[in-house]
Structure 1
Amino acid sequence: MPEAEQAAALMATLRTVNEAANWVSAVAFEQGVPREYELRRHTYAQLKGRGLGAQAAQHTIKKVRDAYTTLKANIKAGNLGRPGSKRRQKAESKPIAFRPEAAQPYDDRCLSWQYDAQTVSIWTTTGRIRGVRFVCSADGLKILQQYRKGESDLIERDGALYLVATCEVPEAEEYEPGHFIGVDLGIVNIATTSTGYQAAGRGLNRRRTRERDLRGKLQKKNTKSARRRLKARARKEQRHVKNTNHVIAKRIVTEAEGTSAGIALEDLGGIRQRVRLRKPQRVTLHSWAFAQLGEFIAYKARRAGVPVVHVDAAYTSQTYCECGHVDKKNRVDQALFLCRNCGVVAHADRNASHNIAHRGAVVWNAGRESRVPATP
């Protein structure tokens, strides 16, 4: 929450260091992307001449070198397409560019925190400015004061300035679970647990459809005001989905912690490549943030000491959890499960969550160390 003059100095600093980063990137591209030490030899003196402090110059060079390292890793992993593809050629044919408001790292030499006053002292191209106020939640301030470590990033987003601090929070000691809560992930129901909790996805899916239709109308209009409106709505849907996943993950982890249970999740890696769907269904599948929800559950569980296991999701929706009968016809539709062996009618997602919970207990028991006393 900087004052007007402070905000102007910080924004000017971001633009200056990112303009310098673009120049360093061009030098690196011309030199064949040398190692950081060699790149520093080519650019450090010139960066100092541009008005950057010693630490800011070092961080700018390192930021550029790290960006090329990431690009190389993405190319190697095939994330930019096959050799010769347009996307890959475009990435390899020109220097990496940095946005004017892109993040700039700060270490403790050029940024200091005053937690009691909730202010920071920070380096800018016009000199060091002190007493810059920041705001965060009470819990966030406590975590920041206890666990902040390493660099922080200054970033501008939608006209607001943020300091992104790295905090290394120790994990709680994992306890021995008495049972497992199975979590079935889906689109109609975002998450269904074996204990009865169900997070319906109707509202989220309706919002996604509305946002998608609105984007299409604005893109088709393509006027200046429409483009401005599109920019204003950017990332709005992502923030809503992220908040929804946080709420669901917290509910599941809190329930598991309160009952000394573990959490069993489906291993859905590669599902988008395996599943064959029609085009309208593909849009829904590719907007499904199941990986994000799984990550949120996993990291919240680590902080609480709740054991988490991932199990094979194969046939969990076609198997009755009581008798173990497997039949594709058991899954009548999205919500209805009818066992062809014993005739039991159940909710399909709830039945699948019980299967996941059972597999979680099996995986946990198979993976833990033997507790049989050693032979004398």
Structure 2
Amino acid sequence: MKLVVQVKLLPSPEQASALEATLRACNRAATHASQVAFTKQLTDRNSLHKEVYADLRATFGLSAQPAVRAVKKVVDAYTTLKANLRAGNLGPPASKRYRTAIATPISFRPEAAQPFDDRCLSWQYDARTVSIWTVDGRMKNVRFACSADQMKSLVAHRKGESDLVRRDGKWFLIATCDIPDPEVYEPVDWIGVDRGIVNLATTSDGTNYQGRRLGRYRRWQARKRAELQARQTRSATRRLARRAQKEKRHATQMNHRISKEIVSVAQRTGRGIAVEKLVGIRERVRLRRDQRGILSSWPFHQLGQHLAYKAKKAGVPFLEVDAAYTSQRCPRCGHTERANRPGRDRFCCRRCGLAGPADVVAGVNVRDRARSAWVFVTAPALSP
């Protein structure tokens, strides 16, 4: 499995100035190559390389390998754009967003991330420094900081490109680590996880991770955003961007904490983890206008992603099961009816009388479906 490790660079003022000039030169070169690719309809890497390589070196001051990286960056950007168009992520072909995307060449921000391969960037792990190509020449002894676990992953598993990123005046290197998949054990049982808004996650064991604090925090951020948007100044716009990143990091940290605890319990008890498959929830569910922003911005998908990759890293079995009627089905007798859930928090079966917290019942249903699904997945193929 592939994981990314983000380390913080600690450049001197002179080194930071050279890194900034390098990012700007690389992104100017990539924007130029993008315009050529768009004008001449060059879709493959070799054709674009032949067309722009000499210009990138002569006009923008790039050496050989950074020029190659800039061309690849452009080709990858157009490949991603085509994939998004095919998937409908930019709306139907008649939409304004779709038409704008196909009518204009891709451009790159002056300080957008820039990939560096091992010819342009080398790591000195013992000294905790890197040597990196810049427009001012090869720059050595650029210090970086990371945790012990990150260093262990870098030394043992780093592979491929590393991205140079500048964010809020700070410098980072994002490295890709190719970690071998551990063997997945045979689970003795499953932990069903029900995800929601009021309760971020509820397990079939009855453990509840409430979203009340996160909800209050997001409502407070929404009020502050409204105040800043009303000012309509450049300073307010910059503060809005910082607040958005802060809110995103806060939600991500909560999802990391929740997923880490669930995976730890599953690994310790020899069980697997099962969650509901919530793909297409926006198309299936109709909400009031005041609820749409909450559902669209709530980190359901991210929590599922964190559970999936942490489980895979730990060798814990992970399944996604059908989400239909998990909150309305009685796990004891199987009776399914909307009236089984008289309130948001309570479940009471109209047939057998089983009662309990609705989210715990949903988690139990997810667990039961995982038991059946795992038997089907691991069953040996029948011989003809």
TM tier, shorter chain? Answer: over 0.9
1:320 to 318, 330, 339: 330
Which amino acid in 2 is paired with 1:350? V
Structure 1 runs of 4+ aligned residues shifted over 6 Å read none
Q: Residue 19 of structure 2 aligns with which residue?
A: 10
Q: Residue 232 of structure 2 aligns with which residue?
A: 222
Which amino acid in 2 is paired with 1:105? P
Structure 2 SS opposite 1:273: helix
Is 1:33–1:68's contact at 8 Å kept on the other side of the alignment?
Answer: no
Deviations 1:117-162 (CA, angstroms, capped at 9, x unpaired): 1100000000001100011111011001100001101011111111
Per-residue deviation, 1:69:
1.2
Q: Residue 110 of structure 2 aligns with which residue?
A: 100
Q: Residue 153 of structure 2 aligns with which residue?
A: 143
CA distance in 2, matches of 1:146, 1:53: 30
Q: Residue 369 of structure 1 aligns with which residue?
A: 379
- 1:29 and 2:76 are equivalent in the alignment: no
Is 1:104–1:153's contact at 8 Å kept on the other side of the alignment?
Answer: yes
Task: Flag the structure with more relative contact order, 1 or 2, with Cα contacts below 8 A and sequence separation at least 6.
Answer: 2
Per-residue deviation, 1:231:
2.7
Which amino acid in 1 is paired with 2:54? A
CA distance in 1, matches of 2:106, 2:133: 25
Structure 1 SS opposite 2:186: coil
2:269 to 259, 272, 286: 259
> What is the TM-score of this pair, normalised by structure 1?
0.97
Per-residue deviation, 1:200:
0.1
Structure 1 SS opposite 2:134: coil
Q: Residue 321 of structure 2 aligns with which residue?
A: 311
Q: Number of matched residues?
A: 374
Structure 2 SS opposite 1:84: coil
CA RMSD of aligned residues (A): 1.5
Is 2:332–2:354's contact at 8 Å kept on the other side of the alignment?
Answer: no
Is 1:215–1:230's contact at 8 Å kept on the other side of the alignment?
Answer: yes
- 1:192 and 2:191 are equivalent in the alignment: no
1:357 to 360, 367, 380: 367
> What is the TM-score of this pair, normalised by structure 2?
0.95
Matches within 5 A, 1:1-376: 1-49=10-58, 50-370=60-380
Is 1:2–1:132's contact at 8 Å kept on the other side of the alignment?
Answer: yes
Structure 1 SS opposite 2:38: helix
Per-residue deviation, 1:15:
0.5
Structure 2 SS opposite 1:128: strand
CA distance in 2, matches of 1:131, 1:140: 19
Q: Residue 6 of structure 2 aligns with which residue?
A: none
Which amino acid in 1 is paired with 2:46? Y
Structure 2 SS opposite 1:132: strand
Deviations 1:263-303 (CA, angstroms, capped at 9, x unpaired): 11101110111001111111111112111111110110011
Which amino acid in 2 is paired with 1:187? I
Task: List gaps (5 residues or longer) in structure 2.
Answer: 1-9
Per-residue deviation, 1:60:
0.3
Is 1:120–1:132's contact at 8 Å kept on the other side of the alignment?
Answer: yes
Give the percent of matched residue pairs that are identical in Structure 1 and Structure 2: 54
Structure 1 SS opposite 2:330: coil
CA distance in 2, matches of 1:315, 1:72: 36
CA distance in 1, matches of 2:235, 2:320: 47
Per-residue deviation, 1:371:
9.9
